[in-house]
Structure 1
Amino acid sequence: MSFWIISILAFIWNIMGVLAYIGQAYMTEADLAVLPEAEQALYTNVPAWATAAFAIAVFAGTLGCLFLILRKKWAKNLFFLSFVGVIVQMVYNLFISKAMEVYGPGGAIMPIMILIIAVFLIWYTNKSIYKNWIS
């Protein structure tokens, strides 16, 4: 039972990531205009490689969850790809952009949580393979 609960919660988590990506990638000028000036600068200066890493992280993670629900080992590869996307995105967000200046120390909470969940999903998939819950 815990396998299904974890798999479905992880799928919902990753769908929320896809929605966040779509919201950022397709942000209109009107949406951008209501943000504080410092946040506007963050959104308008994101390099293509960081946006691509965000897309890879959320779409690979979502597909990984779908494969986990379908009980397929491919989930592990997709979660690893998602993890690489998360790392690249977090390097940009935490060390290259000025996000920490704009959001303060509290701005690190969500990136750390995302990283922990990405690592957990790889670990959980390995455990699921070992226990023959997925094939």
Structure 2
Amino acid sequence: MTDTAPAKSGAPWHLWVVGVVSLLWNAFGCYDYYMTNTGGDEYLRSYGMTAAQIAFYHAMPAWMTGAWAVGVWGALLGSALFLLRSKWAFHVFVVSFAAFVLSVIYTYGFTNGAEVNGMIAIVMSGVIAASCVFFIWYARFATKRGILR
């Protein structure tokens, strides 16, 4: 008879930290999406947006709103998949990031979004991009290590 220890099945602490931070960060993105689309101008003005910035959001085509939805709700789903320890988090985060990239290309490449929204929006886009890349990297790292399965 051999004495074998059971395999450790608990998730490492960093999965919970990244998962919870990711969930909170991406939940705010979903809140912002929801409020922008339902709270209207009052919500946008509460963030100090100008009339030109509000008009810019109103002028977005439906496909752009759809890309934004895929980006934020996909990221929230990816966060939940982290906490469920699912390797599908990686794939969902990649799709979410692709939607974000599409929105950045539209905003800064095909419209005057940089001029209308200013430097703070450009910086925020950079922060969002960095967080997307980090979550993708972490999901891949955790999958390779067997943390996500």
Structure (1 or 2) with the larger CA radius of gyration? 2
From 15, 27, 32, the equivalent of 1:15 is 27
**Shift, 1:29, TM fit:** 5.4
Unpaired runs of at least 5, structure 1: none
Q: Does 1:42 align with 2:56?
A: yes
Q: TM-score, normalised by structure 2?
A: 0.83
Opposite residue 16 of structure 1, the aligned amino acid is F
Superposition TM-score, scaled by structure 1 size: 0.91
> What secondary structure sits across from 2:148 in the alignment?
coil
Closer/same/farther in 2, CA of residues 32 and 120 from structure 1, 3 Å limit: closer
Specify the alignment match of 2:78 in structure 1. Answer: 64
Residue identity opposite 1:17 in structure 2? G
Structure 1 CA distance for aligned equivalents of residues 99 and 119 of structure 2: 22
CA distance in 1, matches of 2:127, 2:32: 15
Instruction: Report the CA distance between 1:33 and its aligned residue.
Output: 7.7
Cα-to-partner distance string for 1:7-64 (whole Å, 9 max, x where unaligned): 1101111100000110112233555688532112212101111110100001111011
Identity over the aligned pairs, expressed in percent?
27
**Aligned letter for 1:14?**
N
Structure 2: 5+ residue runs without aligned partners? 1-12
Runs of 4+ in 1 over 6 A off after TM superposition: none
Is the 2:35–2:43 contact (alpha carbons within 8 Å) kept by the matching residues of 1?
no
2:81 touches 2:88 (CA, 8 Å); kept in 1? yes
Distance between the aligned counterparts of 2:44 and 2:56, measured in 1? 10
